[in-house]
Structures are given as structure tokens and as C-alpha cells.
Amino acid sequence: MENKVQLKINNLRKRFGTEVVLDGINLTVNKGEVVVVLGPSGCGKSTLLRCMNGLEAISEGEILLDGEKITAGSKEITKLRQKIGMVFQSYDLFPHKNILDNVTLAPIKVQKIPRKEAEERAEKLLRRVGLWKKRKAFPRELSGGQKQRAAIVRALCMNPEVMLFDEVTAALDPQMVREVLNVMLELAEGGMTMVIVTHEMQFARAVADKIIFLEKGKITEEAEPEEFFTNPKTETAKEFLQSFVYEKHKIQ
Amino acid sequence: MQDSGINVLFMGSNFLRLLEGLCVTLRISLISVILSIPLGIFFGIFMTLKNPFSKAISRIYLEFIRIMPQLVLLFIAYFGVTRAFGWSLSADVSATVVFVLWGTAEMGDLVRGALISIPKNQYDSAFALGMTKAQTFIHIVVPQTFRRLIPLTINLTTRMIKTTSLVVLIGITEVLKVGKQIIDANRFEYPSAALWVYGVIFLLYFLACWPISVMAKKLEKRWG
């Protein structure tokens, strides 16, 4: 893997009012690297992702994508966002458009590519996730897993350089989690740079090149997955990992 | 002679006069609706602005129009304005002004409701795809708002058609007034004329409003 820096975060601080949500985050994501962000709920994981594509304005520090500064509300932000795909927990497909139109809307309107070309792109991607047959269906006619796969395709259709995933399986039934995670694994294998927030530990372990553990707005651990899962350094990380292990006799 | 009030309807040009009265009703309501819709859209967008000043103004306007019975508004516009400013508005103009003020307030509230019912996530996912605010508004917000609004707007239209019956009280000769005249003119010959005349007026209102509300139901189903 080449070691070109794709995304760099320097001393990022984010406050909501007086509450500090992110406190001095430093993070480097290399091209093709998959970073998984773990941490207890409310630790700022989602906010961190939303800062990365300028959906949240940051209070201090800087975020650089290919050396270009990401600033919420700036003129360049729409240009930069085209390089960063984001997928949300609640899918958020556009309910008034069918799947194909959901996927091709941004390439046509934002990147201004011809409809035909956008649809060819979309076909390739939709076939890859097994949704080409559903292209004329509306979001309400799909299952949660199908919706989430469509949402991933919608982001991919912009040919982004980085993909951000914000707990994309958290709202899904267990049997649908798999189909979505498979798509993400495949993407990772294809060399996509990804930052993933998830609560699927097995998946995190399998997909990550690097695990970031976030606690009260600070990165308290940064490690390779094997190391993090077998030998976490901080107490909180240990407890956090323990909370996913069920042992009958321990429950009182 | 046996009292058969139904004859009244076919005497002279009575039926035609009723239809003409209905035209007056529909004309006032349709002009009001046509003006209220665009004004209401602007007012609705205005209401969603975060500015406290615009919020206060729109709140006061909406509450004022809602609290005042339409009849009182009509009297103010027709009698009050003449007294206060010396402008002599015709009954037609006063009625239209009042119904436009009312329709704009109601329509504005519908537009506001439809706009704020679009989840924040819809904006986020559009922005995340690199869309500008304008593109998000045109391609995501407006189409969704529009679908929610159509049935509501149609319901408002039928309400306005029905409420225009109040204009009789500022002297406009609309369908109800014509009916009253016909009944009064035949009070002694056909005492039961009232039943027939009002029955026909009921039917006319029904024929004017029913297709509109059927259309609303259909659209609601299709886009619901």
C-alpha cells in the first residue's frame, strides 16, 4: 500500500455551546486505508465524521483532504464533498425518486455528467450490490438492507476518494446487517479509503487497518485491530470491549 | 292549487339566476385562491426564517387572522375601512381582500408545516453529495413539499368556497342571496319553496366542492 496521506486532521476541537465534543483530535488517514472509529455512545464519533465533510463546523484546528482545507459553509465545500461520500444510519434516500434517480441525481446535477454516462455508472454499481432489478422501485418499497446498499451506491456513484460510514447497520435487522457489511468489505478490498463508525466488533476487526478509540472527545487509543482487540491499553477500552461479551454467570 | 315549491325553480329565469349566483361565489373564491397560493408560499417560506423579527410579524399576522371570525374581517374591510380612511371599497373588492388575507395566512401555515416536516437528514444527505443549498432546495425540498401540499391546498380551496357564503352579509348577491330573493318573492304562493331552493343550493355547493375533495383524496393516496 502506498503511503500517500489522504485525510489529515490537526488538533481538531469542536464545541456545542460550552460543551466540548471533540478535544484535540489528530488523525492521519492514508490512501486506501480503512480506519474504524470505536467508542462508547456520546463520545463524539458521529460528530467527528460529520466534521470530516463539513456538515459540522469545527471550532479549532484543521481538516485537510489532499492538502485542501475543509471548511463548513465555504465556497469550496461542495467541490470537496464530491470527493467524500457519506452514508448515514437512517439511509436517507430521497423518497420522491426511484432508486436509479436517487443514485444518478448528484452525478447529473452536481458533476454535470450526461445522464447516459451517469446511468452506466449506476448500473455497474447497482449490479455489484444486487439492486439493478430494483432500480425502478421507490425507497419505501425496499427493505432496510436494500435501502442501505442503495445509499452506499448513491455515495459511490460520485466516484469519491474517501467514504465515511456512520453506524450504517445500527438501524438494521440482524439478518440484513450482513449484506451491507459485505458491500463494505468488498469496497475495502478494492482499495477505497474509508472511515467507519460501527458497533459491529467482528466486522471492525476484519475490515480495519487501524482502530481509533474515542473517549469523551479524545483519541485514547490508536492501534492495529489485532492489538486493540487482544490487548487494549486503556481501562475504558477494556470495559468497552467487555460489554460486547456475554457470559451467563456474570449477569446478576 | 297544491303547494309544490319545486315549481319555483322553473319559473322565469330563477334557475339561471341561481347559477349566476353560484358564479359570483366561485369567482370570489377562485380569485382569492389563485392569489392566496403564491402569496401563501412566500409567507410560508418567510415563516421558516430564523430571524426573530420575521417570526414575530408572521406570528401576529397568523394569530390575528385566525382569531378574528371571517365575518368580522369582512365588516372591517367593508364598513370599517371606509369609515376610518374614507376609501370606499366595493363589496367585491373587500371580500376578495379579506379572503386573500385569510387564504395567505392559512396557506402560509400549510407551507411552513410542509417545509419543516422535511427531515434534517434529507438536507444532510443532499449536502453530503456535494449539492449546494439551491440545488438541495430545488431537487429535494420543493418536490417533497409540493406532494405534501397539494391535497392540503385543495382542502383549503373547498373551505374557501364554502366560507364565501358570508359575503352575502356585505351585500353581495351570490347564490345564497339569490335563493333568498326567490323564496321571498314566492312566499305566499309557494310557502315550501325554501326547502327546494335551499336544496338546490346545497346541491350546487356539493357539485362545486365534491370533485375537488375527491381529487384531493386521490392525490393523497398516490403521494401519501
User: Min CA distance, A211 vs chain B (Å)?
Assistant: 24
pLDDT tens, position by position, A97-140: 999 999 999 999 999 999 999 999 999 999 999 999 999 999 99
Could A92 and B144 be called an inter-chain contact, meaning their C-beta atoms sit closer than 8 Å? no
Q: How far is CA B46 from CA A195, B54, B108, B109, in A?
A: 39, 7, 9, 10
pLDDT at A163 > cutoff 70: yes
Q: Residue B151: what pLDDT?
A: 85
User: Min CA distance, B160 vs chain A (Å)?
Assistant: 30
pLDDT mean over B19-46:
91
pLDDT tens, position by position, A188-238: 999 999 999 999 999 999 999 999 999 999 999 999 999 999 999 998 899
CA angle A59, A214, A227 (to 5 degrees): 145
Q: Residue B2: what pLDDT?
A: 53
Q: How far apart are CA A26 and CA B148, in angstroms?
A: 45
Q: What's the alpha-carbon Rg for chain B, to the nearest Å?
A: 22
- The label of the residue with cell 456512520 reads A166
B126: which chain A residues are within 8 Å (Cβ-Cβ)?
94
- Lowest mean pLDDT, pick from A104-108, A165-169, B137-141, B151-155: B151-155
B128: which chain A residues are within 8 Å (Cβ-Cβ)?
53, 55, 81, 84-86, 88, 155
Q: What sections of chain A are H helices per DSSP?
A: 45-52, 77-81, 99-109, 115-128, 144-156, 174-189, 201-207, 225-230, 235-242
B134: which chain A residues are within 8 Å (Cβ-Cβ)?
none
Q: Which helix (H) or strand (E) holds A191?
A: none
Binning pLDDT at 50, 70 and 90, where does residue B34 land?
very high
List the CATH code of the domain at B5-223.
Answer: 1.10.3720.10
Binning pLDDT at 50, 70 and 90, where does residue A141 land?
very high
A109: which chain B residues are within 8 Å (Cβ-Cβ)?
131, 135, 139
A85: which chain B residues are within 8 Å (Cβ-Cβ)?
128
Q: Residue B16: what pLDDT?
A: 86
Q: What is the 3 state secondary structure string of B115-128?
A: HHCCCHHHHHHHHH
Asked whether A126 and A89 are in contact (CB, 8 A), the reply is: no
Chain B residues with a Cβ under 8 Å from any Cβ in chain A: 119, 121-122, 124-132, 135, 139-140, 143-144, 147
Sheet holding A60-65, edge to edge: A19-30, A5-16, A60-65, A68-69
A103: which chain B residues are within 8 Å (Cβ-Cβ)?
none
How many Cβ atoms from other residues are within 10 Å of residue A142's Cβ? Answer: 18
Q: Shortest CB distance from A78 goes to which of B132, B139, B140?
A: B132
Could B131 and A78 be called an inter-chain contact, meaning their C-beta atoms sit closer than 8 Å? yes
Q: Shortest CB distance from A106 goes to which of B119, B122, B130?
A: B130
Closest CA to B130 of A184, A110, A38, A63: A110
Q: Does A79 touch chain B (CB under 8 A)?
A: yes
Q: Residue B1: what pLDDT?
A: 47
Asked whether A210 and A227 are in contact (CB, 8 A), the reply is: no
* Three cell numbers written together for A128: 455489484
pTM of the model: 0.82
> What are the sequence ranges of the domains in chain B?
5-223
